[in-house]
Chain A
Amino acid sequence: MEGIGVGQLRRSRLERLRDARVREAADIRRPAIGLPREDRATALAAAVGGIVQHTPGQPIVAVEWRERMEQDLSGLAWLPEAVDPASPFVLIDTETTGLGSGTGTLPFLVGIGTWEGPDFVTRQLLLPDQSDESGYLDALEALIPPDACLVSYNGRSFDWPLLVTRYRLHGRRPPTFAEHLDLLPLARALWKHRLPDARLASVEAGICGVSRPHDLPGSMVPARYLDYLRSGHAAPLRGVLEHNRQDVVSMALLLRVLARELAPVAQQGWAPDSVHPGDLGGLGRAYARKRRHQEALTCFDAALERLTDAWQMQRYEHIAIDRARTLTRMGRREDAEGAWHAIALEGGQHAAWAWLHVAKHREHDASDLAAALRATDRARALAERGRLFGRRDQRVERDLARRVPRLQRRLAARVGTGRSRMR
């Protein structure tokens, strides 16, 4: 038989390779001694403080945490993202054996957060062995009702596709749900301006004051689980569970901040004093991206109202610029010109650019060529000063090079035919 021949060939080649390894004194790991399935789950549950949950397929380990947390999420209805606050919120976060999205990356722990009356409940499903996955997927499916609004942090591109892969791998359909609110893009838009980055750990610390002095770094998570699989040492997984639970709880806290402080701003036209102007600017931009210009404008106005000094005005100049652009998109050209004029007078980083906008409005809306030319003079003066300080603004220079000669030409033509409307 050919198969037997190949088998022998493989064994002999492998032996030589193994000999070579032994000679090189390579670190050879003995395979873990397998416990029976039931015992494995029981031991794991005992080590992490959970219970063995019997699914039709296999035993899995579940851990439950409860804490008081009011569910006051009605404000979420006004978020830029379409969210129905009446639907059950299901917060989801996974821990995996790697960062890749291929079929060999295993989400071995799923944390699911839901509100039950006055309590916020985190249920964690932990996989006792790679062979127990089918039961694990059953248990997960049972926690996601079809009308759920999933809430995740980067779950749209990472956690959820990974779970879909697991269902497909088992030849099953992934669970259905109504909506998926991924907090990562929102957090980026709202808070990144005052945080080192938009990782959940940074956002929860900066926005909700959560501190995790003993947290397990995410990069160590895969090794802990892989080591458990090989050795059966489950105690180090406690740190992984705690890490995951905090992720889920932090998402709940962020939802609350969103619902109470930020989402209602556009609706009620004002924001609590605690809200940072930069956050409001970010919220406005999030609305603007969804073409909800009125709400965007409300946010920008609320943000600009609380900028008290010139330094702040310059620091958040981009909010004023976004506001001016929004006014243009809404067709409120006069207001837009006023907005650009204000930015120009503020003398910030983009003042030259703002003068050019003023010039544009003067030329096209008011046909006031002389005023337009004066505005370009202001822009040119600023641009030249910038250049002296080594800050060239090529965008401004290119625009000036086109705009100024055109304005001069038009003005000359108008003077020549005696149709001047100069004041």
Chain B
Amino acid sequence: MRLHQPLPALEALERFLAEPGVAEAVAVRHVVPAQDATYAPLPEWLDPRLVQAIEQRGISSLYSHQREALDALREGQDIIIVTPTASGKSLCYNLPVLQEISADPAARALYLFPTKALSQDQLAEFRSLAELAGMDLSAAVYDGDTPAPIRAVVREAGQVVVTNPDMLSTAMLPHHTKWFQLFEQLRFIVIDEAHTYRGIFGSHVANVLRRLLRICAHYGSHPRIVCSSATVGNPAELAETLTGRHFRVIDRSGAPQGERHVVILDPPPLDPRSGVRPGPHWLSYRAALSFLRAGRQTIVFGRARVAVELMLSALREAMREGRGPIDRIRGYRGGYLPSERRAIEAGLRSGEVLGVVATNALELGIDIGALDVSILAGYPGTIAATWQQMGRSGRRGEASVSILVAGAGALDRYVATHPQYLFGASPEEARLDPENVHVLLAHLRAAAFELPFAPGEHFGTAPADDLLAFLGEEGHVRQAGDGRWYWSSENFPASEINLRLGAPENVLIIDTGPERPRVLGEVDLFAARVLVHEKAIYLHDSQQYHVDELDWEERKALVRPVDADYYTQAELAVTLKPLDVFAPADRPAGSRQHGEVMISSIATIFKKLKLDTHENVGWGRIHLPEMELHTTAWWVALDREAVGDWRRDELDAALVGAGRALQTVASVLLMADPHDLGMVAQVQSPHAQQPVIYLWEAAPGGVGMSVRLFDRTDELVRGALDLVAGCDCQIGCPACVGPRGESRLDGRALATRLLRLLCGPTGATRSGPDVEVAA
């Protein structure tokens, strides 16, 4: 058989699945049926120049969701668009913005994107549409890279200003009088990729938007808001929490979709006893090679830079053997030059580039056209990101293939064995809590700096008076003779806020690799101990760095780039004390609660784990002070009678195992990073005198995850039971109840027993759509 033989994607898939060693890894095959396009006519009120511009692109009508968006905005509604990748979301806001400007050139719009790369890409898209319409208007990116002379021009004349929340918070809002032309005439705020505004970042951004809307009100404008988001379980709630407005959800996509064949591969364990599994890269590589040899345009997503580079060079090597087109296989990740990236993107659109191996730098909205095959080497962490990456393949009228190769981690395994989460209605909720008191106070300071507060004035959904009085005690604000609260400090509060961090005090991470050391980023003090302790491997922008020194007093971590085949994982010894219970409720065999807790923790040791197999290859001690964290937590307490006949060591293993499984499932439900939620299991809680499992939020003050876990406890406990009971390991593995350590007990059986108790007599029931499970 010839190595390189053009084949349609589906035939190539069959050929790949028939390869030795592949069939036994297939966990799921699922066909997402094709969907025909639903069109709607262009609205008659659309400016003829815009009609002409669209027609020049070969479009004579809109998709139904685009028309729905246009009509809703025209009626003055705020909307959130939740349709798949490449369904023409940007037209939903670009057209109304251009229409508004064509009717009134004084009109302005503000576009917010979470990253700089996305800003540039979307600006180019907007400009090309405006050019086709023959509209001469000023649209510009305003971010940290904008040169000073251009900034003044953008401030005065920019009709469409494209920026990010960080820039809005520190450079625009505190100087709003210099932007008065923009704020006076602001008609639209576009918030793209809204699902990325979750957790602590989302809680900050929600407060930045409160400040923005307050400034708009001061200048007498009431802009409409357009959000767009990847599919999440709670789009309306997300948009409403983020902005304080009520939203119309537009989620019925009219865009056509070709048939999509989704295959989930779950490589079997290397050693069934220990449950150690291979990483996802070998199978991903084999799949990619198979499709590339069939001449199919293929994208492979890896989770880390090292993995991407390894797969890339292996693919090129293999293609060389068969005299394949090695130049047509490219890498794409953070750290590539923008020009390089643009060339790869263009090459993908034209077909010049056949295969690309990328990190999630390519995940968000960047236009590369549609490919034939997408391969995900490892679960990207959220279902939303999974669909965004899979959405990279799929041409109109042709079948496309998406392959997810599960990695060895617990989340990966959970998704591989519970495909209903992937194919059913999304269980993921983007959670944020604008009322996190630390975040709220930081932004209230900034807001008072921007404009004085009238007595009784709302910040968010409630009056700010109490909070302002509190700030008054600190001396930051002061109530003047007219009863209003004024900023009364020399400080510049917006510069003290880092939107991407929870706590105010941060450790700077300094890269000593280049000739002139540069600041890579910062982490909050609490996280610093586990992320940048000495000898840690710190990941930034998919590059690994070795921490040479952590200067705790100076709050500095000195790192240098390395290429290591392991990562580090630090262990925290945690004690937990509940401070306040918000709500208790009964459960079978115990109770569920959520409330505020005090966590004292000390980093003890770190382990070195191999990148692909998570095998332990070494360890070291960490010497850092103990710290306290005030945060929110969810917990289940077991009645002592219910576990009265358990041996203490068995109960301990059961609590830890069940806790780990609960932690995994909670991460899935709440789109959380594994280190956003901590877990503590106590056989005899000093406070409740009961066995308790706590899940606590790593962000100081919490971001609203605990209350949702409380509401969704049933789902959470059942999910954990499913995970543990359904695992194909023998007595517990890293993917279900966690690494086994020295224990000789059957952790899986014990955790299953405990979770059954918590589920009650109804036991575990799976919900979700029917999925054809191959195994």
Contact = CB atoms under 8 A, between A and B. Distances in A.
B462 interface: yes
A331 interface: no
Interface string A1-13: 0111011011111
A98 B490 contact: yes
Contacts of B488: 97, 130, 226, 229-230
B345 interface: no
A31 B437 contact: no
A169 interface: yes
Contacts of A36: 481
Interface in A75-115: 97-104
Interface in B167-181: 174-178, 180
Interface string B461-479: 1110011011011110011
B490 A222 contact: yes
B715 interface: no
B481 A169 contact: no
Contact of B469 (A16, A31, A35, A165): A31
Contact of B177 (A97, A99, A169): A169
A35 B482 CA distance: 11
Nearest to B485: A130
Given A37-B481, A132-B481, A222-B490, A20 B462 contact: no
Nearest to B446: A104
A35 B579 CA distance: 41
B580 interface: yes
Q: Which of B458, B488, B494, B580 has the most CB of A within 10 A?
A: B488
A28 interface: yes
Interface in B476-517: 478-482, 484, 486-494
B480 A131 contact: yes
A66 interface: no
B177 A164 contact: yes
Q: Which of A13, A16, A40 has the most CB of B within 10 A?
A: A13
B130 interface: no
A230 B177 contact: no
Interface string A26-38: 0011111011110
Interface string B686-729: 00000000000000010000000000000000000000000000
Contact of B174 (A31, A32, A34, A102): A102
A16 B596 contact: yes
B488 to A, nearest CB: 5
A29 to B, nearest CB: 5
Contacts of A34: 479-481
Nearest to B175: A102
B448 interface: yes
A17 interface: yes
A178 to B, nearest CB: 22
A31 B630 contact: no
Contact of B580 (A16, A103, A129): A16
A223 interface: yes
Q: Which of A3, A18, A30 has the most CB of B within 10 A?
A: A3
Instruction: Categorize the interface residue count of chain B.
Output: 35 or more
A40 B482 CA distance: 12
Q: Which of A3, A34, A99, A130 has the most CB of B within 10 A?
A: A130
Contact of B478 (A31, A37, A169, A223): A31
Contacts of B479: 31, 34
B472 A10 contact: no
A226 B476 CA distance: 10
A229 B596 contact: no
B449 interface: yes
B481 A131 contact: yes
A3 B456 CA distance: 12
B490 A97 contact: yes
Interface string B321-347: 000000000000000000000000000
B450 interface: yes
A226 B473 contact: no
B597 to A, nearest CB: 11
Contacts of B481: 34-37, 40, 129, 131-132
Contact of B462 (A6, A35, A223): A6
A222 B630 CA distance: 34
A2 B177 contact: no
B266 interface: no
B467 A10 contact: yes
Contact of A13 (B437, B450, B486): B437
A169 B492 CA distance: 17
A327 B491 CA distance: 51
Given A129-B481, A131-B484, A229-B488, 7 more contacts: A6-B460, A7-B462, A10-B462, A10-B466, A34-B480, A103-B451, A104-B449
